[in-house]
Structure 1
Amino acid sequence: MTELWTPDDLQRIASADELQIAPRRTDGTLRRWVPIWVVCVDEQVYVRTWYRRNTGWFAHVLDSHRACVRVPGLQTDVSVEHVGTGSERLRADVDTAYRTKYARYGTSTVDQMVAPEAAATTLLLAREQDRLS
């Protein structure tokens, strides 16, 4: 079951330079943590990979649709939905968020994250509801 990101969650994620993601294996254990760029758009959290591979963190989250993410002050389980480029508006909004947040890295670096190949890898991270023991 998913829940909405809180304003505090979104602020922590938006202010973090990178988010760390660890895909979940089928037995629920975590794979290794991988740092990735992250943006928030319309109270949702999105990540992309600049180069799609059939191995590594991206392939593992596509297989399981589950991961754990962390930024300073927050660690939570997420469900992962591959949204690709989505609608034209979503694509433009996510591209703009990447350009704005990561502009300091220079145009050539950011252009890789907003290229059609990278946009096609867009993933929506939805916070999973905390489970009580």
Structure 2
Amino acid sequence: MPYPEPLTPEEKLTEAKELLSLPRIVAICGSTRFMAEMHEADVRETEAGRIVVKPGCDLKSPHPLWSDPDRAEALKARLDELHRAKIRLADEVLVVGDHIGDSTRAEIAHARSLGRPVRFTHPEVDPGPSPR
């Protein structure tokens, strides 16, 4: 008698979300120059009944935690990894802003490689399908 294949971590996460009856989770992505737009998107997505995860630090704005350039560089790497984890947790991604830089392009490719739907506040900036 063959045994069923064990669930992947992704499948376990999906199953856990369903068992917990969690609302859809949306990861907001985009350049931190669009932090005000991200806040507005957060309000709208929350009002629509979705859980929102988004960047929590704007390294372009002054703050004691990243005033030292060496600390800021190390923090950026940790924040990039944290944001990729937010994308893995999310059911879909919302890209905010009318410009796509290298970091956001990489986040979109990561989301699409995971099979996450990607929406845009400005659909004209969609870089298209990620190469496989």
TM-score tier by shorter-chain length is under 0.3
**TM-score, structure 2 length as denominator?**
0.24
**TM-score, structure 1 length as denominator?**
0.24
Higher relative contact order (CA 8 A, sep 6+): 1
Query: Which structure dedicates a bigger proportion of its chain to strand?
Result: 1
For the pair shown, which has the larger CA radius of gyration, 1 or 2?
Answer: 2
Query: Which structure dedicates a bigger proportion of its chain to helix?
Result: 2
